[in-house]
Amino acid sequence: MSTNHTVIALVTGANRGLGYATAQRLGEQGVTVLAGARTPEKARAAAEELRAAGIWADPVTLDVTSRQSVDRAARHVGEVYGRLDVLVNNAGVLPEAFAPEATRPLDLGLFESAFQTNVFGAVAVIQAFLPLLERSDAGQIVNVSSTMGSLAEQLNPASPYFGMVLPAYQSSKAALNGLTVSLSKALAGTSVKVNSVCPGWVQTDLGGPDNRATAPTTAAEAAEVVAALALRGADGPTGTFVDREGAVAW
């Protein structure tokens, strides 16, 4: 594929659900999309499907839980493209949705799983790709988070999220939001912006086997807010947490 498109964006977990929809939405706006997925087969399949829809897409094998995989992916992108303009940290897990036998209210294994992907995976990817983002005139890091990670919402009895008790997932997303804040400060004065986004309750496999039937938001609708934040450019915000309605309380 040609590498002459203005914006180059990497989406992790781009082979299905929100990740694929985000890659598609970015591609529809003329972005060169790097479709990240855990295996070569899944990455190729996603890229081929995007290409069939007329989108400039290339596969990138990237397992966020493997430092070697992440580093190989960064070297590949650097060698082929020389820079990265947008990084969408989409890959994530909600382990409580698939663990009815888990110890309640706390299960260390669920915390390890959630943090390994949702936090440590995001940190590994950012660390590996930051040098490429710094070569961009308007580098964007978008961390796909959740309002369920908002401490304010968890403590607000009037919030629809107040009754949701998913300790591993919520704690991991709160930690991801903390990363957004601290990293936006660390990169202040550079060309790189860092923001968190909640796409809503989305019809994907993330929330368990019944989620597609119960979630109110389609992946395509959710991708709109993610892609819009990713393409805000040099004049866009940094250190913010937003959803479809606007700012979310930390």
Structure tokens at 136: 């961009």
- The packing angle between helices 122-133 and 67-81, to 10°, is 20
Structure tokens at 13: 């977990």
Identify whether 20 is a catalytic site residue: no
**Sequence-distant (≥ 6) Cβ neighbours of residue 104 within 8 angstroms:** none
For residues 109 and 137, the answer to whether their CB atoms sit within 8 Å is no
**Sequence-distant (≥ 6) Cβ neighbours of residue 20 within 8 angstroms:** 14, 35, 46, 49, 50, 219
Q: Does residue 144 come out as left (phi exceeding 0), alpha (psi in the -120 to 50 range) or beta?
A: beta
Enter the DSSP assignment of 31. Answer: P
Structure tokens at 244: 């479809």
Closest by CA to 25, choosing from 60, 53, 59, 52, is: 53
3-class secondary structure, 35: strand
**Sequence-distant (≥ 6) Cβ neighbours of residue 220 within 8 angstroms:** 21, 24, 25
Q: Which residue among 20, 81, 161, 169 is the active-site one?
A: 161
Alpha helices per DSSP H over the chain: 17-28, 40-52, 67-81, 108-115, 122-133, 151-154, 167-186, 211-214, 219-230
Catalytically active residues, by annotation? 161
